[in-house]
Amino acid sequence: MSSDQPEGFADNWAYLKTELNWLERVLMVAVARHRKEIKEVDRVSQSRADKVTSHWWKGIVALEGDIFYDEHRKPNQANPIKNYQQQLEARIQVSLQRGVVLALPALRDRLGLTVFEKNLLLMSLAPEVNRRYAQLYRYLKGDDSPIKTDLPTVDLALRLLCRNDTEWRIARSRLVTSSPLIQHQLVQLLPCPADTFLNQPIKLAEPLLDYLLADQPSPPDVDRFILPPQSLPQAKHLTLQTSSTRWEEVILPKALLLDLKQLAERAQQRPLLEDRFQLDNHPSRPGQIALWVGPPGTGKTLSVKAIAHMLGYPLMSVDLNRVKPLDFPNLLAEIQVQAPTVLLVKSAQHWLRRSAAVSTAEINQFLAQRRRVTGITVLSVPLRPAVAIQWQKQMDQILEFPLPSRSDRLQLWQNTFPAQVPLADDIDWAILTKPKLTGAEIVAIVQSAMILWQIADTAKLTWEQVLAALAQHQSSKQG
């Protein structure tokens, strides 16, 4: 074995002891900082009244020229934290290769948890292992804390686990809206009447506690904590469907089809590269966002169905043409709550154009939230100029869906007729491929021809019936 090969964990408890030792170091640094703060308060206090009221002004007044609240999150302290996470992940991977199941990493991977969420579970687990952690939590919460509990609070977790204000805002927002920990009821934020969200204690669900402390957890155990879709809040505007579409059914130019398959493959692999390994100056972004451009009927919906089938997840979709602008904020909230792995937003120009019905801040929040969800988000528009440049720059990929070529139209015509429908021998495919039709138009014409065939009750679907359906379609377009 190479000398630089990281050492794996012997079992789940060996892993937990390593993580708890890291947490204790974080807590002791925080304790030292808190003691320094008390000394600074005593130094600048001029009267007894100053000391009595220090519980509110000490976090606002700069004692040494810096904002105290951000002192422990200076950029020069980010690298040690990230290096620890990288080293830890390397040991986790060695353990997995040896068949050693580690409960917390397995749950993290199953739900696509962020590093903050994983460490939040660790903080909540620690006082269940040793009351020393509870004593440290009490000290760091302060004597003025109205909550007398061994559990960590939201405020304490955010202060200890977030390196900057951006991470703080993202972590807090995720806890309020889209965190799998809340959706699947893995943690409970204990209610505090007439108190703030930050003061709510965080408690692990009992079954999760037993799982995290198990000597030999197994992969199937993780699924016991995943609530079925019907247990989650129901969506009013979103449509959920299971896809059986395979790539063989998607008729597109070869280069475009290759791009789509690679997009799906990255959706499978990206969490391993970006959520597990915290690269310097690169936050965890397991979710991909793609902009697909093309007229209706050029294969965009069929392609995302194929991706959903490949990933093994249902497709959740919405057409903004069918949603009232006044309902857009509710729709954005639904997407955050549902957090689908595969999301298709049709007619996305309503959100992405220069004068959209939703604010820039709302769209930025939507995109940030989707990047934190393991999977893929497809935003579909008919024309690229309909999307503001600022949003185009935020896309991971922009794909153009052209109208089908003549050879593609031939495939579409021949593949759209069901195999069990007998066709007359005189069907002239060359004539059918001349009109520049989309795939959706060809499907509609074939369906009309089959209706005419059923009405006529002929032995085979005739060429005349196909021509009549084609003429009917062209007449409706002109009208």
Residue that finishes a domain, picked among 225, 247, 268: 225
Tell me, what's the pLDDT at 281? 38
Q: Report the CATH number at residue 423.
A: 1.10.8.60
348-405: per-residue pLDDT in tens? 999 999 888 888 888 998 998 888 887 899 999 999 999 999 999 999 999 999 999 9
Mean pLDDT of the chain: 81
CATH of the domain at 363: 3.40.50.300
- 3-state secondary structure at position 423: strand
pLDDT at 386: 92
Asked if residue 258 and residue 356 are part of one domain, the reply reads: yes
Cα angle: 363, vertex 367, 373; to 5 degrees: 145
Q: Do 59 and 69 touch, CB atoms closer than 8 A?
A: yes
Please report whether residue 448 resides in a domain.
yes
In a domain, 183, yes or no: yes
- pLDDT for 439 equals 86
- Same domain for 412 and 364: no
**One domain, residues 82 and 146:** yes
- Indicate the pLDDT class of residue 446, thresholds 50, 70 and 90: very high
- Is the pLDDT reported for residue 228 higher than 90? no
Q: For the chain, how many structural domains are there in total?
A: 3
Q: How many CA atoms lie within 13 A of 222 on its CB side?
A: 15
Choose the weakest-confidence range: 178-182, 211-215, 396-400. Answer: 178-182
Average of pLDDT values for 201-205? 90
Confidence of residue 48 (pLDDT cuts 50, 70, 90): low
Residue 233 lies in a domain: no
Tell me, yes or no, whether 2 lies in a domain.
no
Q: Give yes or no for residue 145 having a pLDDT over 60.
A: no
| pLDDT at residue 45, rounded to an integer | 54
pLDDT at position 61 is 35
Model pLDDT, residue 46: 54
218 and 283, same domain (yes or no):
no
> Hey, how many other C-beta atoms are within 10 angstroms of the C-beta on 303?
29
For residue 364, tell me if it sits in a domain.
Answer: yes
Q: Are residues 137 and 173 in the same domain?
A: yes
Residues 6+ apart with CB under 8 A from 287: 370, 371, 372, 373, 374, 375, 376, 377
Last residue of a domain, one of 225, 253, 279: 225
Are 151 and 292 contained in the same domain?
no
Q: Cβ distance 287 to 308 under 8 Å?
A: no
pLDDT, residue 60, reads: 33
CA dihedral sign, ordered 435, 438, 442, 445:
negative
Tokens of 329: 């904020």
Q: Are residues 385 and 418 in the same domain?
A: no
Same-domain status, 427 and 333: no
Regarding whether 173 and 50 lie in a shared domain, the answer is yes
pLDDT at 68 over 50: no
Q: What is the CA radius of gyration of the chain?
A: 28
pLDDT tens, position by position, 279-337 = 433 444 568 999 999 998 899 999 999 998 888 788 999 999 999 998 898 898 888 87
CA angle 308, 314, 315 (to 5 degrees): 70
Whether 459 is in a domain gets the answer yes
Which structural domain range is residue 107 located in?
Answer: 12-225
pTM of the full predicted structure? Answer: 0.51
Does the residue 6 lie in any domain?
no
Q: Is the same domain home to 462 and 356?
A: no
The Cα 205–Cα 407 span in angstroms is: 58
- Based on the fold, state whether residues 171 and 219 are members of the same structural domain: yes
pLDDT of residue 40: 60
Taking CA atoms, 431 is separated from 273, 394, 434, 442, in Å, by 50, 43, 6, 13
Domain final residue, candidates 400, 433, 461: 400
For residues 394 and 436, state if they share a domain.
Answer: no
Distance CA(114)–CA(93), nearest Å, equals: 17
CB 376 within 8 A of CB 343: yes
Q: Which residue has the higher pLDDT, 224 or 110?
A: 110
